[in-house]
Each structure stands twice: as C-alpha cells, then as structure tokens.
Structure 1
C-alpha cells in the first residue's frame, strides 16, 4: 500500500514537470508570437519619418558631390542638410526659413550660372566652394537631447518655404550670407571684384552681447606677421619700428577695412583677413608688448544676409520675406519653378 502511494506521487510529480516543461516556453513565446513568426520586421517606434519636401522642391533632382561620391537627392532633401549646417537650429523659425530660401536661391544661381563641377555634379557639400551640408544622422548626434526639436524646425523651415526663391528682375540672385556684420552689411563691390544692385549696404541689428566671439582679438609677433605678409607680398618693407608697418587704412561705412598700406604695399582688407586668419575685415590694430594686436568685430565677409541679424529681426516679429527683402535690395520673394525645367533638360 505504501509502495503504491509513492508510485502515484511520482506519476503526479512527473505530470506536473511535463506540463511545466511545455507550458513555460509557450508562456514566453505567446506574447511575442506575432513578432517571432510574422514576416514583417518590427518597427522602431523611435525612428523618425523620412522628410517629405514640398511639391516644387520635390520636382527637382540634384546631383550632389558629397566628398568623392555623387549622390542624387531632391532639392528639398539637399536644403535640409544645408540649413542644418549653415544656421544654428536654435534660431527663430522665421530666421531658419530665411536661411532656407537663401540656400535655395544660392543653389539655383550656382546651377544656372554653370556651377563649379561641369557635368559631374550640380552642387557640392564643400562650404569653400558651394554651401555646407550635414546629414541627419550626424546633425542629430551633434544636437543631443535637442535633436528631435531641432530637426523638426529645420524640416519645417524648408517645407514651409517650398519653392520660394529670391528674384531680381525675375532671376535668382547670388544670395550670399554671413554670420554677423559690424552693424551694417557691405556692398559686393567692396569685398569682391564686381558690384551687384541687390548686394548693397543695409543696417543690420546685431545682438553683440549674445553672439559668440562677436568681438575677437588676435596678436602676432613681428616674426609671425612678417612670415604671413611676405608669403604673398615679398616686396613689402617690414623693417624699422613695427608701429609704422600698417598705415592709411581706408574703411567703408560699416567700419570694415577696404584697403590698408602694409610695408608700403596697398592690400585689400578682405585679403588681410585671409592672410591673418581674422574673423572679418572689420578690424583695428595697435602695438602691445612688442606684438601687433588686431581687434575684430563680426564674423564673415559681411555681404548679404547677416544670420544673427536675421535672427534678431525674427525675434522682433519679422517674417522671412521681410528679413530677405531687408538684406537683399530691390528683390522679390516668390515661388519659382524654373530650376525644375532646367535640371530636367540637363539630365535628358
């Protein structure tokens, strides 16, 4: 009798173990059976929806030289990458819209004027040649916790200005821009060779207290200064007292140096900026402790739209059209579909 009872207990235990052996895996699998056995790939709920440009921007396909690779993308996708790279996403939305329109216009101008890349590409991502560009992945890594908010603003700036272009006489302009001016922008002819009617000096509201490095200071020992000048102007006479090396500075209304005599050689202020690595051509200088010290205001060439000025205008209530028609003289801002037909003809 005792032996039979033990046998029944053993059978019962075995039955329970068998149930657990088969039931536990099912308990784990059943809640996820759709994901495990379905042919569909699970969706990452955190992944952003792809950017969808407006109708006009989507109708233009660009060949973009990115490094050594030519990539095809819509004008809208390209512009989002440009705005990410060219203007802080923390700026006001209307300033970002102004940047998007300027970038679209600059792109159209480059393509219509023949560009720099022949039949290879329409535009590139090198800021020294065309415009800066940054991918969504890299930008969002840089933005950190503000990534989603910033990307949404940039995409809205491009989509919300679909096809909008800055025109002078019905033609896209050379819509150059810079970071910050010295309170007034400069005429194109003061910086480059040719003047343009829509790139004329205008007042620019700059928040000098909030602009990073709005005022900068750079110093050079006599040896370093000579090296930098002699590399391009070996005929300059940089002997004698250092206080007499720079003379007769001619400045424009913004305070930027148009020309200055350096060791008896007349040099453009923009050239001096390049030779010395200054943030702008709005500079003064003095001798301090045996060195030449330059005091610089603003950042960039000073022509066209000031980005920090645009942001202040936006903060004070101006929309992107008001910003653009302020910085570019005598222009209109309107939807322009000419680039689509031009790029389609080029591809056929």
Structure 2
C-alpha cells in the first residue's frame, strides 16, 4: 500500500508540474525564441505565429483532434502548435497531395487511393510527432478552401479510416511517399526506391517494390504533381562539364542507384542533392545528335508509396487501400490508433498500469 501511495503522489506531482509548464513556460519560451532564433526546415521560428493551444487538451487528450508542433498551412505558411480536427487534417493534406483524382479514375478507385494516402499521412504525422520532428514538408489545405464536391468525396473516403495507422513491430512507421517511382532501362521494370539506396539507411518497411503504373498515371496527375515525369540533363550537375561516361550498374528494382555507387566522368557521387533532380534514378545515354545525356525518371525521392502507383493499382486492378499500403510498406500492419491525442494523462496512466 505504501508503494502504491508513492506512485500516486509521483503521478500527481507530474501532472501538477505539467500544469505549471502549460501556464508559465510559454511566455518565457517566446522571449527565449526572440533572443535566440532557430530554424526548422529553413523557416525562422521567431517569425512563426503560435497557434492557440488548450493545455487541458494536451494533458488529458482530445478525441478526434490532432496537434502538430509544426505544420504548413496553405496561405499562412509554417505554424506552430496547430490543433485540428483529425478528419479535417487528413482531408486537407490528402487534397493537397492527390487533389480531385475522381475526375480521371472511377469513384471507387479514387476512394481507395484517398484512403491509402490518408492512412500514410496519419502514420507520418504521428511518427514525426513522436520524435519531435517537424512535419513542415506537408501542406494542409483548409477544408473551407476545398471545392465542396471534392471535400464531400474525401470525407466519405477518409472518415472510416481516420483512426488507422501503419505499424511495424507494434510501432507507428515513418510512412514516407513520393509522387512517382522510377524506371530501370536495364530490366524494363518500374519500381520504388529503398531507404537504403536513397538515404543509406536500411529500413525494413521501406524496400524497393514493383510499381508498374508510374508514367501512365503521372501523365494524368501532372496538374497535381506539376513536373514532367522525364527530365534530360546534358551536363554533369556537379562540374558543368558534358557527360563522357557513367556507371549504370548496381541499380535496384526501379532503376535507382545504390548508395554511394554512382560514378560520372570518373567522379563519385554520394548525395542525392548533388544532382539537379532530387532522385537517384537515371539512365545514361545519348540524344539524337549523339550528345551524351543523363535521363532522370519520375518525381520525388521514390521511397515508400508511389502516389501514381497507388492510383494505378486502385484503378487498374481494383486493389483496396489496405493491399496498396501493404504492397508499398513491406511487412507493415494496419492498426487502429484510437484517440490520436491521448495526452499526458494517458501516458502517465500507461506508466502505472
């Protein structure tokens, strides 16, 4: 009994401390922020307005709400401590990512692709929040700015899956995705890039998998993606000199070069940022005049789910969102997260169960 009483006192002390933090720290933190500017994702946080946050919601949780430390809001830029209705959040980001795809695929296919995207978004947000990372790579379109027909269709798709997330070994995953995957001219196969090939980190659920609908659905989604699927470069992006030779070996399924294995004009390239394209997927050839060129394929890093591939699988094969997600995130499971914001009280309760 004495031991239980000690646990109860400690829990009460922690809750009291958290209340004091909620009420006293924000003002001091704001002053500190002005004195010592920092950057997150290239944004000066001293210029980021602080959204109003309810500390009781933070302590005790708020059903059907999600709070992100940082989130880009369309028309407003990067904001801090943004609390949104969970469905609104998923609808707004899904619309930014996939748009009104119902205009060129069937309603049922659009619903499955939207569901897959929403579950990936929810997983990504919770993963970033868990590790204190910024989710400023995503842009939330306020739902009142979405055309009503698209908004209603998105809600219909997302509401039933709002609590679902992707997990691996019981932990929510970093469910990254890209607009489209690559193409391997050596094998004639379209496919995604593994985390190892893209970033040098072998993540079990971010492996290279086949994705056959890349160019077909990229051409239909160009108004959403905004860039060409193919890109041709005539000069070495590091030196500006014309290409003379390039190592095209060690490609993965989708034509991506394995980490630190690409050599052009005798020079080794390690980081993706050294290319004009943000990708590591290419083919080295010559144009009709015989001038050596580098051809890049796809748009985005190519890791995780391909949006073009997801739309293609839903439309061409009638694949549902669960099978789409399981295809792109190797070995991942779909779990129910329950309340997305359990709060400090739920965390403390878990400690003493």
TM-score by length of 1: 0.65
Pairing 1:208–2:215 present: yes
Q: Secondary structure at the match of 1:208?
A: helix
Question: Which one has the largest radius of gyration?
Answer: 1
Q: Is the 8 A contact 1:177 1:302 kept in 2?
A: yes
**How many pairs were matched up?**
258
Provide closer, same or farther for how the CA distance between residues 206 and 56 of structure 1 changes in structure 2, counting only shifts above 3 A.
Answer: farther
Aligned to 1:199: 206
- Give the superposed CA RMSD: 3.0
C-alpha distance in 2 between matches for 1:77 and 1:295: 39
Aligned to 1:79: 90
Q: CA deviation at 1:83?
A: 0.6
Pairing 1:278–2:277 present: yes
C-alpha distance in 2 between matches for 1:56 and 1:184: 40
Aligned to 2:143: 136
Q: Secondary structure at the match of 1:244?
A: coil
Which one of the candidate residues 206, 212, 218 is aligned to 2:232?
218
Q: Which runs of 5+ in 1 are unaligned?
A: 1-54, 117-122, 141-146, 232-237
Q: Is the 8 A contact 2:181 2:192 kept in 1?
A: yes
Aligned to 1:157: 157
Q: Secondary structure at the match of 2:250?
A: strand
C-alpha distance in 1 between matches for 2:62 and 2:319: 25
Aligned to 1:260: 262
Provide closer, same or farther for how the CA distance between residues 314 and 186 of structure 1 changes in structure 2, counting only shifts above 3 A.
Answer: same
Q: Is the 8 A contact 1:62 1:75 kept in 2?
A: no
Pairing 1:113–2:131 present: yes
C-alpha distance in 2 between matches for 1:264 and 1:109: 40
C-alpha distance in 1 between matches for 2:279 and 2:63: 34
Q: CA deviation at 1:262?
A: 2.8
Q: Secondary structure at the match of 2:215?
A: coil
Q: Secondary structure at the match of 2:101?
A: coil
C-alpha distance in 2 between matches for 1:342 and 1:291: 60
Q: CA deviation at 1:60?
A: 3.5
Aligned to 2:113: 95
Aligned to 2:64: 58
Provide closer, same or farther for how the CA distance between residues 61 and 217 of structure 1 changes in structure 2, counting only shifts above 3 A.
Answer: closer
Q: Is the 8 A contact 1:177 1:305 kept in 2?
A: yes
Which one of the candidate residues 210, 235, 238 is aligned to 1:229?
238
**Deviation readout 1:11-68 (Å, 9 max, x if unpaired):** xxxxxxxxxxxxxxxxxxxxxxxxxxxxxxxxxxxxxxxxxxxx99614344544425
Aligned to 1:326: 327
Provide closer, same or farther for how the CA distance between residues 247 and 164 of structure 1 changes in structure 2, counting only shifts above 3 A.
Answer: closer
Q: Secondary structure at the match of 2:341?
A: helix
Q: CA deviation at 1:189?
A: 0.8
C-alpha distance in 2 between matches for 1:186 and 1:57: 36
Q: Secondary structure at the match of 1:261?
A: strand
C-alpha distance in 2 between matches for 1:57 and 1:203: 38
Q: Secondary structure at the match of 2:205?
A: coil
Q: CA deviation at 1:215?
A: 4.4
Q: Is the 8 A contact 1:165 1:334 kept in 2?
A: yes
**Deviation readout 1:48-92 (Å, 9 max, x if unpaired):** xxxxxxx99614344544425433323332222211111132151
TM-score by length of 2: 0.64
Aligned to 1:167: 167
Q: CA deviation at 1:244?
A: 2.5
C-alpha distance in 1 between matches for 2:63 and 2:285: 51
